[in-house]
Amino acid sequence: EMARLEVAVADQHVDGVTLVMSRGGTLRGRVVFEGGSPPDPSSYRLMSRPIDPLEGFEMGGGADAVKADGTFELTGLFGRRTLVVMGGVMGGGAPQAITIGSAAGWSVKEVLVGGRDVQDAGVDFAPGAVVNAQVVMARDFPEISGTVVTDRGAPVTDYSVLVFSEDREKWFLPSGRFLRTARSNQDGQFKASSLAAGRYLLVAAESFDPNTTGDPDELERLRALATEVTLGENEKKTVALTLVTP
């Protein structure tokens, strides 16, 4: 059981605070795989995290193994939360936000609650509430790949590409589907996968300061240097970008 209460403290002592313990809410559901030969569901683990990163993981949301039939249950959940997917097939079982990266080619397509995709909006958990969900995994997603050249047309083999939605309201959504950084591979090509359909801005540079991708003002500044690409549902596009100095 846990208790949570927000208290504002100014220049006076706060007395008489009462915390009421609760078991929190429960998330039950099933992981399903759309298309292709699915992996073993029991190789996955699910946990939840608050929509607000300042709240941390402490208020419930411990990891739970997905059963062989794809069912799962998370208990002791408080507040508005989204999911994190983990699994041995993801390379050592490292945690991933629900749509970031892939598991042997599989990524999260939807988290359905009441027929609505809540992977970015999250779900509110009241004490004692039970929420039923379906996590849909898929292998076919929009992606952008390509190469980079200098302003004189010479191929570049060592670079990074920043891919971010044209809509700034989507940049920092929990799923991470609308903001990606892709590094060139050994062949001098890049690929940004598991994106959502929509309009994106692409900027190629030798490297990006990690603070850039988390700063909305920096992303706004990069608009002027970006190449726009529009992706339809499950569409794959190949582009040629010119290296810039951010």
Q: Is the CB of residue 180 less than 8 Å from the CB of residue 219?
A: no
Is residue 99 classed exposed, middle or buried when 0-12, 13-18 and 19+ CB atoms within 10 A define those classes? buried
Q: Which of 8, 9, 175, 5 is nearest to 78 (CA)?
A: 5
HSE at residue 54, side-chain half, CA atoms within 13 A, is: 0
pLDDT tens by residue, the chain, 246 residues: 565 667 777 777 777 777 676 678 999 999 999 987 888 888 888 888 888 766 554 555 566 789 999 999 999 888 899 887 776 443 333 333 333 334 456 888 999 999 999 999 999 998 889 999 999 998 889 999 999 999 999 999 999 999 999 999 999 998 889 999 999 999 999 999 989 999 999 999 999 998 888 999 999 999 999 999 999 999 999 999 999 998
* Per-residue buried b or exposed e for 225-234, using 16+ beta carbons within 10 Å of the residue's own CB: bbbebebeee
Q: What pLDDT score was predicted for residue 102? A: 43
Q: Which residue has the tokens 């582009």?
A: 239
Tell me the two tokens of residue 197: 């359909």
Residue 213: its H or E element: helix 210-213
Q: What pLDDT score was predicted for residue 165? A: 98
Q: What angle do CA 194, 197, 199 make, to 5 degrees?
A: 115
Q: Taking the chain, what is the end-to-end CA distance rounded to the nearest angstrom?
A: 49
CA 110 to CA 197: how far, in whole Å?
13
Q: What pLDDT score was predicted for residue 85? A: 78
